[in-house]
Structure 1
């Protein structure tokens, strides 16, 4: 007799529960399978043409010494991405994920003809110790630029997309945004970023405390991002919003990407229904931010490289969630006895 279900959620849970395994035995993989089925509104979901988008931009505050690396590393790493030599390139190749690199605001003139998506709003955000990172017009342009990248990718029928970033100084921007959004002292939102020692970490805290004090009257989520954010963070926010509009599965990488989705969550908590949080980074505030969002990450490999690497590494696990849902036998199909009631 065919079982009838009141809702798709019930059908998915029944399908998962009656696979040839003890109830709940595939753990968090079952949660991911259920989520993907609900996003795609089917009990037989598919992952189609996975993409990774890496947004790159420079930060004016980097000149104040908040990073262990000089600002020119941003453009040098973009060239490394384009040459296929970075960690994200390796993992995307391994897992057959298409990768797109976006110049959101790198402080460098790239030669024409590179496989680089030019969405540069300006060369670097402004130094927030002196003025807001972006003007209102620049912020809106950054959001729109991010959306336009996803609209083009959506034309390929991609239904799962990960987000990464590159930008010396962007953990500072993310810490400032987190502090402002959730009213947490800045010292509790700051980590070692690219590998600061104790003295450099304290200097970073001092600099960011000064930045917070410079803007006592900020109101609203958008003003927070415009004041403290980076161009790559703003474009990532726009891109994530557009991916949600196209009902894509949204893979969230580390601290910076989680900060970007937290901005959108503040506006519309439902966006998390489409999100899979791929890893807990070694940036100290990331786990706290995940807890605020009520989310659990798939991996904890002590990564802090950014670039979307956590998304690419988690992708095979996400594939496994879809595969078991679609291919694993049920007790009835396999003629295996189920647990006695």
Structure 2
């Protein structure tokens, strides 16, 4: 990384004038162990899909069946993340890690179901510790598979009705912040439902002992897609492949990955900052600065995909810009 910082200082521009792109390029060099770092060529969005039993407690007006319907929309290429991924030159893979209904497997949708949705976290643990560990392991293996297929940058995506409730629980516990400052409106709930959702989050988090093991936290209040995404981060880090995180669900998952292996987050970039209040808290704890801030709250991987061209551009600047010496410009 020192070599990358030195090269940044020699490029034909005032020091720091490319702002965050300069730090992104330095971090890419650190991940690759090379200066300049290779330009990320093949990008893929891994959309982890799972259902949440907490939907039964009334934290969202959307029915659980929407998760399955959206998986089919991803398969058909009609979702926002599909459109944005095509624009960014990225592929989309959907990982069924916990959809409640049966989902057919093909080249786009991968069947990796640990269990058909979580239990209602408002009434007790969302899953067992063994299931949480299995879901993390699934995410690691997905990262392995994607890297073996030649992808050199991974973007996170997610789909699961009720997943912002589990995200708020994870963020509140792992950052020590109260539920009221973390819980957001998700798909656009009204004030009454937000108050109920916040109470559900507060009560669930209160069951988790301070200093609990990360897998126990996941089992108590997390989602299967959170566990899978945490594993994806860990697996990518093992391969020294960068990960572009999406919004609040990815932020919660990255906090779990950080708790399991702190250095893994060094391989992550925050694609954007969601309007969900817990996301800013998660990013601050992770020490990541968002590359895009467009008031997004869709999920799916939409913000991560929008940031991919910025990550590629940061690498290109460090590699392709002239230095003052090579351009013959006096300093």
**Which residue of 1 is the match for residue 322 of structure 2?**
329
Asked if residue 66 in structure 1 is aligned to residue 66 in structure 2, the reply is: no
CA contact (8 A) 2:234 2:261 kept: no
Paired residues in the alignment total 330
CA contact (8 A) 1:177 1:225 kept: yes
Map of 1:235-314 to 2, 5 A cutoff?
A: 235-314=228-307
SS in 2 for 1:285: helix
Asked if residue 26 in structure 1 is aligned to residue 12 in structure 2, the reply is: no
CA contact (8 A) 1:218 1:224 kept: no
Summarize the Cα distance change of 1:211–1:156 in structure 2 as closer, same or farther, 3 Å threshold: same
CA contact (8 A) 2:231 2:257 kept: no
Cα drift, residue 69 of structure 1 = 1.4
CA contact (8 A) 2:175 2:282 kept: no
CA contact (8 A) 2:74 2:82 kept: yes
Stretches of 4+ aligned residues off by more than 6 angstroms:
none
How far apart, CA to CA, are the structure 1 residues paired with 2:2 and 2:124?
A: 52
Cα drift, residue 279 of structure 1 = 0.6
Asked if residue 45 in structure 1 is aligned to residue 49 in structure 2, the reply is: no
**Which residue of 1 is the match for residue 147 of structure 2?**
154
* Structure 1 spans left out of the alignment, 5+ residues: 1-8
Summarize the Cα distance change of 1:216–1:143 in structure 2 as closer, same or farther, 3 Å threshold: closer
SS in 1 for 2:277: coil
* Structure 2 spans left out of the alignment, 5+ residues: none
| Residues 127-186 of structure 1: CA deviation (Å, up to 9, x unaligned) | 122331111222222122112211111112322111111001111001111122222211
Map of 1:102-141 to 2, 5 A cutoff?
A: 102-111=95-104, 113=106, 115-141=108-134
Q: 1:219 aligns with which of 204, 208, 212?
A: 212
CA contact (8 A) 2:208 2:217 kept: no
Query: TM-score w.r.t. structure 1 length?
Result: 0.92
Cα drift, residue 220 of structure 1 = 1.9
Cα drift, residue 294 of structure 1 = 2.3
How far apart, CA to CA, are the structure 1 residues paired with 2:197 and 2:159?
A: 19
How far apart, CA to CA, are the structure 2 residues paired with 1:114 and 1:295?
A: 33
Asked if residue 197 in structure 1 is aligned to residue 190 in structure 2, the reply is: yes
CA contact (8 A) 2:142 2:232 kept: yes
How far apart, CA to CA, are the structure 1 residues paired with 2:63 and 2:207?
A: 24
Summarize the Cα distance change of 1:10–1:218 in structure 2 as closer, same or farther, 3 Å threshold: closer
SS in 1 for 2:230: helix
Summarize the Cα distance change of 1:73–1:114 in structure 2 as closer, same or farther, 3 Å threshold: farther
Q: 1:90 aligns with which of 64, 83, 92?
A: 83
CA RMSD of superposed structures (Å): 1.6
Flag the structure with larger Rg.
1
CA contact (8 A) 2:129 2:215 kept: no
